[in-house]
Amino acid sequence: MTRAVIIGAGIGGLAAAIRLARRGISVEVYEAADKAGGKISERNFDGFRFDAGPSLLTLPEMVLELLDDDLRFPIKKLDVITKYFYPDGTKLSGFGNVPKLATEIKEKLKVPESKVVRYMQKAAEVYDLTADLFIFGSFHRIKNLINLKALKTVLNIRKLQAFSSLHEFNERELEDKKLVQLFDRYATYNGSDPYQTPATLSVISHLEHNLGAFIPEDGMFKVTESLFQQAIRLGVEFHFGEPVRKVETTDGKVTAVWLDSGFVQAEIVVSDVDIHRFYSTLLPDSKRLAKLNKEERSSSALIFYWGMKGLSPEMDVHNIFFSASYEEEFDYLFRKKEVFDDPTVYIYISSKYNKTDAPEAFENWFVMINAPADVGQNWSEIIERSRIKILEKLERMMGKKLQKNVVTEEILSPPEIYKQTGSVNGSLYGSSSNSRYASFNRHANFRSDIAGLYFVGGSVHPGGGIPLCLSSAKIVDGLVKEQIRKKDRF
């Protein structure tokens, strides 16, 4: 029986384990942490439950297709995806239905509905032109570039808006400053800067508003829990608290992985660790590492998990309190490597739909601001200052006192993100997309010079976020299928 070792039990590693096990491959997963999930985890303290990482699910079918019927979990499609709050007092509901969204924007911002509808149509076009090649396939293989779909993408390259920044494109298409800011924020979904990242990222708004945004009724951690249970059911063996130290190759083939306790032979090795860490420790390669180090790291996050006394009827499940100076905020993040004093604040309150996530008459606030990658900043000072600034901002924009309502608190900063997840510099998505060539520079899901070595997760193709990590596992599954066929032929 073919034997596979998967390094890391993040969402990409779990999905790869399930797919390979279904092929009859013997799969073992080695994870340095004491549990599966990576960034998709949860925190429980003082009667409050928090989703610790991602808080929204798009393309849920990519999760559900991995699960047996009895392990599939109920999910809720959000009517209002996000509620937006602007410094001048404007409030806007980001509906997950384009006609309703267009009507809301017309009423609140006086922007013609036709502008919003046309923008979303263009975002859908970008998705249709790029999905098979850039999301669900690997353009690192010649055969994937020589087909009618790839030709269609090339012939319609101007529609991809790859030569404009997302901000420039949004200004041309939407004009209204508040609306531009709303659609600029989608750059942050993969840790990038809307003033630099290509307008191709408008595709993210398509996923939310055209296809829909969802949330598991029992919280985002249900994604991890269900995938883990599925893998166990298929016979996958998990080894927690056992980090892989080295990947062994011989004559252009992967042969084993080394642990503290010895080595484990394998014909297939799938890495679900940050690609920088892989080439610095697991398979040292100074040339590849030097190339990776030239790429700008994605942003990170500073998160406060607050147990809050009282209810907030003015807020929804997902909420954004915008900065008054968005461009300056991103200048701080990517050029100054600092946290802006007027940050955009994201608040996720899962207890609004799952009452058991907080005690009665309380709410669980996941409060996040964008933060730069960790390059040695004074995080103790940044955390203290940011906490004050966030509370001042929220009190000003909500018109009520909040400081005394924080009854319990935990904090997650970029250094802790690195410590807990292995994401180098605490960058949530590996490299940023602050270049028109960023997608092409992402590491492939395989090594053409080392048979049996594959890569999944947010730091490799196609990128960060739940759907993309799941897609990386699907791509690897197809590559492994080809490897096994070649082996069987000989």
* Residues 117-154: tens digit of each pLDDT: 999 999 999 888 887 777 777 655 555 545 555 555 55
Domains of the chain: 3-38+218-296+435-489 (3.50.50.60), 98-212 (no CATH)
pLDDT tens digit sequence for 194-214: 999 999 889 999 999 999 999
Cα–Cα distance measured from residue 165 to residue 195, given in angstroms and rounded to the nearest whole number:
6
State how far the Cα of 78 lies from the Cα of 319, in Å rounded to an integer. Answer: 13
**Per-residue pLDDT at 388:** 97
Helix, strand or coil, per DSSP, at residue 307: strand
Q: Residue 113 has which token pair?
A: 């509905």
How long a stretch of residues is the chain?
490
Structure tokens at 177: 């400053």
Q: What is the dihedral of CA 324, 325, 329, 332, to 10 degrees?
A: -130
Beta-strand pair 300-309/406-412: antiparallel
Task: Report d(CA 122, CA 46) in Å as an integer.
Answer: 46
Cα torsion 479, 485, 488, 490: sign? negative
Q: What CA–CA distance (Å, rounded) separates 430 from 386?
A: 24
pLDDT tens column, 412-467: 999 999 999 889 999 998 888 888 766 677 899 999 999 999 999 999 999 889 99
Whole-model pTM? 0.93
Q: What pLDDT band is residue 287 in, cutting at 50, 70 and 90? A: very high
Q: Quick one: tokens of 490?
A: 């000989």
In angstroms, the CA 70 to CA 6 distance is 25
Residue whose C-alpha is closest to residue 43's, from 358, 296, 278, 311: 358
- What confidence category does residue 215 fall into, taking pLDDT thresholds of 50, 70 and 90? very high
Q: Read off the pLDDT of each residue in 386-405 and give the average, rounded to a whole number.
A: 97
pLDDT at residue number 489: 47
Side chain identity at 138, as an amino acid letter?
S
Written as one letter, the residue type at 47 is G
CA pair distance 17, 236, nearest whole angstrom: 7
Nearest to 222 by CA among 64, 78, 355, 352: 64
Give the pLDDT confidence score for residue 56 in this predicted structure. Answer: 92
Asked if residues 472 and 455 have their Cβ atoms less than 8 Å apart, the reply is: yes
Amino acid at 37: G
User: What is the reported pLDDT for 490?
Assistant: 43
89: phi then psi, degrees, rounded to nearest 5: 100, -10
